[in-house]
């Protein structure tokens, strides 16, 4: 998914952002409202999200998220995308929309 399209979904509040980066990177900055997922909480995430909800998977540069998006889609989710450019592109394009813990 193109970065600007992901940003439109974020502004509309109509998509779930799933961030697969490590905990330290997520704490240093993430898309507001994004959920950090990894192997330890993936099952809970998959059970808690509507299978028809738009899910946008985010990683560092938009490469690892492609495989994660494919995996989530294979679990029966109908609208899963990987965000092109990842969090790096987001933070450069929308620095005002980055949360830090």
For 58, the token pair is: 């985010």
For 53, the token pair is: 């909800």
From the candidates 6, 31, 34, 59, which is the catalytic residue? 59
Each of the 101 residues of the chain gets a pLDDT tens digit; together they read 999 999 999 999 999 999 999 999 999 999 999 999 999 999 999 999 999 999 999 999 999 999 999 999 999 999 999 999 999 999 999 999 999 97
Residue 65 structural domain: 3-97
Looking at residue 91, what is its pLDDT?
Answer: 97
Q: What's the number of domains the chain is made of?
A: 1
The secondary element (H helix, E strand) that includes residue 19 is: strand 16-19
What is the layout of strands, in order, in the sheet containing 80-82?
Answer: 35-36, 16-19, 55-58, 80-82
Q: Is the pTM of this model over 0.85?
A: yes
CATH number for the domain harbouring residue 49: 3.40.250.10
Which residues fall within 8 angstroms of residue 2, CB to CB, at 6 or more apart? 84
Task: For residue 58, give the nearest of 74, 38, 75, 78 by alpha carbon.
Answer: 38
59 is catalytic: yes
Structure confidence by residue, pLDDT tens digits, 5-15: 999 999 999 99
């Amino acid at each position: 998914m193109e970065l600007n399209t992901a940003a439109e979904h974020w502004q509309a509040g109509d998509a779930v952002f799933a961030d697969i980066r490590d905990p330290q990177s997520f704490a240093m900055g993430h898309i507001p409202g994004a959920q950090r997922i990894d192997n330890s909480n993936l099952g809970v995430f998959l059970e808690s999200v509507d299978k028809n909800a738009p899910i946008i998977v985010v990683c560092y540069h938009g490469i690892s998220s492609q495989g994660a998006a494919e995996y989530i889609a294979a679990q029966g989710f109908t609208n899963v995308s990987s965000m092109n450019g990842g969090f790096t592109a987001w933070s450069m394009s929308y620095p005002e929309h980055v949360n830090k813990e």
